[in-house]
Structure 1
């Protein structure tokens, strides 16, 4: 799967990593719902760091269709709310 981190670029990520990423996504959603700004910020950083760690960056000139788009590291709670999928999280599943 191709994942885009807004403002950074794209990475190729194996589907096998989504269970691990969904745990962070669930934490992020809970922090958003409770209004826990510091927790939200820490978990967003952790989620993006994990995607960078597990993914393989695509070349800067590669233009693959992104199957998943994640917010930039400095996104606000409100900006992330706008990106949420129908099931409530950033990561489907």
Structure 2
């Protein structure tokens, strides 16, 4: 799966990482719903760090579309709330 983190670029994430990313996504959704800015910032950082740790950078010289687009690390709680779907940010 190709994941784009806004402002950083694309990453190739193996399917084996999706369960752990979904757990991090669930924590992020909970913080958005609670409105706790500090917890939200930590949860967003954890999700993005999880992607970076599990993935390899996608080749910069290719023009592949992203399967998933995540907000950048400087995104606000309100911005992420607007992006959330029924499955959070990470489907599954």
TM-score by length of 2: 0.94
Tell me the distance in 1 between the aligned counterparts of 2:15 and 2:59: 20
Q: Which runs of 4+ in 1 moved over 3 A?
A: none
Tell me the distance in 2 between the aligned counterparts of 1:9 and 1:64: 11
Deviation at 1:83, TM superposition (A): 1.4
Determine the structure 1 residue equivalent to 2:3: 3
Determine the structure 2 residue equivalent to 1:42: 42
The CA deviation string for residues 9-63 of structure 1, in whole angstroms up to 9 with x for no partner, is 0000111111101111111111110111101000100110110111010122322
Determine the structure 1 residue equivalent to 2:80: 80
Deviation at 1:82, TM superposition (A): 1.7
Determine the structure 2 residue equivalent to 1:18: 18
Please give the secondary structure, in 2, of the residue aligned with 1:7.
coil
Q: How many residues align?
A: 92
TM-score by length of 1: 0.93
Structure 1: gaps of 5 or more residues:
none
The CA deviation string for residues 56-84 of structure 1, in whole angstroms up to 9 with x for no partner, is 10122322110000000000011111211
Tell me the distance in 1 between the aligned counterparts of 2:85 and 2:38: 22
Please give the secondary structure, in 2, of the residue aligned with 1:3.
strand
Determine the structure 1 residue equivalent to 2:61: 61
